[in-house]
């Protein structure tokens, strides 16, 4: 069945119950208000800080947009893009597009105007719904996107080149449109994160999205009593597909705008959150805040918080050991996935396998996985090869790119581009991205292994290892290191610390700087290679933390 039927079921069964809450902590702090015990009433003075929506209103909003799109001539299979920050309207917009039979095209809110144009062109988008944060970017390109026939603006102070989403949808029927949908119909185009090149357009069907619902709910056991905290951007498959478990269960979710540790803990406490999905940097920030005394756990009500899970990038085992020290009663899960597999879930650790922390886990619900060599043949346990997965949520294709599609989908198997190995118990351990492997003097060096080791140093907050050109060895490993606030460290100390590693794995160069990550938490290694690949780095010790910097004395990353 199409995923839209789950929304209609929830509206029918639980119509008057709250399903979504949006909290803007930044506004709340600026205006010194509290959201506790506010009623959902007209002219609520806290409305701009804490907004709520029932299942019935959610479904009606989706229907109004669907009817507007159909009225405006949007045909089944045509593409409608979403360019919004996380907000209460985001998911009704997404489901409204699906209910119209159109294909939803979520866009990264960090895209430049040119990247927005590229993605609109590539996806054949005919209509765009955008918010106030993007007026300037759309204004620079709207004359140059001829395929886009309609621009709908969601917000106040409408620009003259767009129509009012709010006004137009308010005048449309809230009844479901008579559009027949099936599992095989196109549903959404997501764009790859771009960590290995310019984004590709990933096409998913309704069947793919529905499969993600069942996989997520099976893994984390969402019930009607759960409340899921969603922090990552909804344009990405990760956040939305984890919320799909809440959709299937008919349970609550909270959209939090902000990632400060105290904001996360306060929201968990006051909204009675039971499930939180974090990215590695946010988990690190929470632990650092606890251990520095910046936050005190006894100030929050956290007893109902039953599950913390992490995904989107390799998780250092040292991080989870620290987490369990402060949250010994939490269930924990690692989620591995990729947009081509409709987000997280094709491999996951499982809450009963905490003893295997460091592994990404076993094949997920409904999935198969294997480790293969360059010819696609399975390798022996313990040997490194490429991870391939097969299941009901493998993408239909890279949109309009059959060559790229055939390169990664073979006989139904999706070749992930991730290098991995399996232990004797069948647990899969991620080694690195295939394209990030460093070949130094004929030896394969897998950066993730070194990064995990570096993060065990008490002064290191984050680490990234990249390959830099070397005349003799071809490449050498360079470690970019971000220190914890208030900690000092020198290059010599790092080299001494790395003496426990095999000689060929030891970083030959150490650079102290910030670690750039994209909105889904993945390290932007192409950016680091561009910044440092040909640069001459000199040591500049500062009194604060002995950070090593380029010759101009400024961090390359902070200058961009």
For residue range 28-81, what is the model confidence (pLDDT) as tens digits?
655 544 433 333 333 444 446 889 999 999 999 999 999 999 999 999 999 999
Describe the crossing of helices 206-220 and 237-249 by its angle, rounded to 10 degrees: 70
d(CA 229, CA 273): 6
pLDDT at 550 over 90: no
**pLDDT on residue 489:** 92
Segment among 177-186, 335-344, 466-475, 494-503 with least mean pLDDT: 466-475
| The most confident of 499-513, 518-532, 544-558, by mean pLDDT | 499-513
CA distances to 310, 355, 402, 482, 555 from 226, rounded to whole Å, are 18, 26, 41, 36, 43
**pLDDT at position 544 over 80:** no
pLDDT for 519: 65
Class of domain 4-33+49-258: alpha beta
| 124 vs 256: CA distance, rounded Å | 32
Reported confidence tier of residue 237, pLDDT bands at 50, 70, 90: confident
What angle is formed at CA 54 by the lines to CA 51 and CA 57, rounded to 5 degrees? 100
Question: What is the spatial distance between Cα 152 and Cα 240, in angstroms, rounded to a whole number?
Answer: 23
pLDDT score for 24:
85
* Maximum average pLDDT range among 23-32, 439-448, 505-514: 505-514
Neighbours of 493 (CB within 10 A): 14
Please check the confidence at residue 219 and state whether its pLDDT lies above 80: yes
Instruction: Look at domain 338-435 and name its CATH class.
Output: mainly beta
Give the residue with greater pLDDT, 143 vs 237. Answer: 143
The pLDDT of residue 437 is above 80: no
CA distances for 540 relative to 353, 459, 511, 514, 537, angstroms: 45, 18, 11, 15, 9
Best-predicted range by mean pLDDT (42-46, 125-129, 450-454): 125-129
pLDDT at position 106: 97
**Do residues 430 and 314 make contact, with C-beta atoms less than 8 angstroms apart?**
yes
% of the chain beyond a pLDDT of 90: 66
* Helix (H) or strand (E) run with residue 63 in it: helix 55-71
pLDDT at 452: 86
DSSP code of residue 526: H
Distance CA 389, CA 99 (A): 30
Q: Is 59 helix (H, G, I), strand (E, B) or coil?
A: helix
Tens digit of pLDDT for each residue in 299-312? Answer: 999 999 999 998 76
Provide the mean pLDDT of the chain.
87
Two tokens, residue 453: 């080791």
Instruction: For residue range 79-123, list pLDDT tens digits in order.
Output: 999 999 999 999 999 999 999 999 999 998 888 898 899 999 999
pLDDT tier at 393, thresholds 50, 70, 90: very high
Residues 423 and 359: beta-carbon distance below 8 Å: yes
pLDDT value of position 180: 95
Strands 275-278 and 307-311, bridge-based pairing: parallel
- Residue 97 has a pLDDT of 98
What totals of helices (H) and strands (E) does the chain contain, helices first? 16, 27
pLDDT score at 463 = 92
Q: Which residue stretches of 79-232 are H helix?
A: 90-99, 113-123, 135-141, 165-170, 206-220
Q: Determine the Cα–Cα distance for residues 159 and 268; give it in Å rounded to an integer.
A: 37
CA trace torsion 213, 219, 223, 227 (10° rounding): -90
- Asked if 201 and 399 touch (Cβ cutoff 8 Å), the reply is yes
> Domain segments of the chain: what residues?
4-33+49-258, 338-435, 437-532
Mean pLDDT of 449-456: 88
- Cβ atoms of 524 and 511 within 8 Å: the answer is no
Element (H, E) at 64: helix 55-71
Least confident piece of the model among 161-165, 422-426, 436-440: 436-440
| DSSP label of 54 | E
What digits encode the pLDDT tens for the residues 511-539? 999 998 876 667 888 788 878 874 433 33
pLDDT at 557 exceeding the cut of 50: no
pLDDT of residue 29: 57
Pick among 3.30.300.30, 3.30.70.20, 3.40.309.10, 3.90.1150.10: CATH of 437-532: 3.30.300.30
Over its C-alpha atoms, the chain yields an Rg (Å, rounded) of 24
How far apart CA 389 and CA 370 sit, in angstroms, is 7
Q: Where does the pLDDT of residue 449 fall: very low under 50, low under 70, confident under 90, or very high at 90 and above?
A: confident
113-119 own/partner pairs: CB under 8 Å, 24+ apart: 113/137, 113/138, 113/140, 113/141, 114/141, 115/199, 116/83, 116/141, 117/141, 117/144, 117/145, 118/198, 118/199, 119/81, 119/191, 119/199, 119/201
Quick one: pLDDT band at residue 495, thresholds 50, 70, 90? very high
CA–CA gap between residue 414 and residue 408 (Å, rounded)? 6
Please tell me the distance from the alpha carbon of residue 166 to that of residue 160, in angstroms, as a whole number.
Answer: 15
- Indicate the length of the chain as a whole number: 560
Collapsing DSSP to helix, strand or coil, 233 comes out as coil
User: Kind and range of the H or E element at 239?
Assistant: helix 237-249
3-state secondary structure of 479: strand
- Nearest 5°: CA angle at 478, between 475 and 481? 165
pLDDT at 256 over 80: yes
Task: Report residue 321 as tokens.
Answer: 């050991």
> In angstroms, rounded to a whole number, what is the distance separating the alpha carbons of residues 68 and 72?
6
Residue 366 token pair: 């409904």
């Amino acid at each position: 069945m199409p995923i839209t039927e789950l929304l209609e079921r929830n509206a029918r069964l639980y119509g008057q119950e709250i399903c979504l809450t949006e909290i803007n902590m930044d506004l709340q702090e600026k205006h010194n208000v509290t959201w506790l015990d506010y009623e959902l009433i007209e002219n609520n003075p806290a409305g701009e800080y804490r907004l709520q929506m029932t299942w019935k209103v959610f479904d009606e909003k989706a229907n109004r947009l669907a009817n507007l799109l159909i009225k405006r001539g949007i045909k089944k299979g045509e593409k409608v893009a979403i360019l919004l920050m996380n907000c209460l309207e985001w998911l009704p917009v997404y489901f409204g597009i699906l209910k119209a039979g159109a294909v939803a095209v979520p866009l990264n809110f960090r895209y430049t105007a040119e990247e927005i144009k590229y993605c609109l062109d590539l996806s054949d988008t005919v209509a765009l719904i955008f918010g106030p944060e993007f007026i300037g970017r759309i204004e620079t390109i709207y004359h140059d996107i001829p395929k886009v026939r309609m621009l709908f603006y969601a917000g106040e102070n409408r620009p003259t080149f767009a129509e009012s989403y709010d006004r137009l949808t308010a005048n449309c029927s809230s009844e479901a449109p008579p559009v027949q949908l099936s599992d095989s119909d196109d549903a959404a185009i997501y764009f790859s994160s771009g960590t290995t090149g310019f984004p590709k357009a990933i096409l998913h069907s309704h069947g793919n999205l529905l499969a993600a619902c069942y996989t997520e709910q099976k893994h984390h056991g969402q019930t009607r009593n759960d409340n899921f905290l969603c922090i990552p951007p909804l344009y990405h498959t990760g956040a939305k597909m984890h919320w799909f478990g809440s959709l299937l269960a008919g349970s609550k979710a909270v959209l939090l705008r902000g990632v400060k540790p105290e904001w996360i803990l306060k929201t968990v406490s006051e909204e009675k959150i039971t499930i939180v999905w974090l990215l590695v940097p946010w988990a690190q920030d929470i632990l650092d805040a606890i251990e520095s005394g910046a936050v005190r756990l006894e100030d929050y009500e956290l007893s109902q918080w039953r599950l913390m899970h992490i995904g989107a990038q390799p998780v250092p085992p040292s991080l989870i050991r620290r987490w369990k020290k402060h949250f010994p009663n939490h269930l924990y899960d690692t989620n591995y996935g990729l947009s081509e597999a409709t987000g997280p879930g094709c491999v996951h650790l499982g809450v009963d396998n905490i003893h295997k922390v460091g592994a990404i886990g076993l094949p997920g619900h409904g999935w198969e996985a294997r480790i293969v060599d360059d010819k696609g043949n399975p390798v022996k346990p313990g040997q490194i090869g490429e991870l391939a997965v097969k299941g009901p949520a493998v993408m239909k294709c890279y949109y309009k790119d059959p060559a790229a599609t055939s390169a990664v989908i073979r006989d139904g198997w999706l070749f992930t581009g991730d290098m991995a190995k399996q232990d004797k118990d069948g647990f899969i351990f991620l080694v690195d991205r295939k394209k990030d492997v460093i070949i130094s003097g004929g030896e394969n060096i897998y950066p993730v292994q070194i990064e995990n080791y570096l993060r065990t140093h008490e002064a290191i907050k984050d680490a990234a290892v990249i390959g830099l050109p070397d005349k003799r060895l071809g490449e050498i490993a360079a470690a970019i290191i971000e220190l914890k606030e208030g900690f000092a460290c020198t290059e010599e100390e790092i080299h001494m610390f790395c003496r426990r590693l095999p000689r060929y794995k030891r970083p030959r160069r150490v650079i102290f700087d910030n670690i750039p990550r994209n909105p889904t938490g993945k390290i932007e290694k192409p950016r680091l290679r561009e910044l440092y690949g040909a640069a001459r780095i000199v040591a500049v010790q500062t009194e604060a933390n002995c950070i090593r910097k380029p010759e101009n004395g400024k961090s390359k990353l902070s200058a961009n």
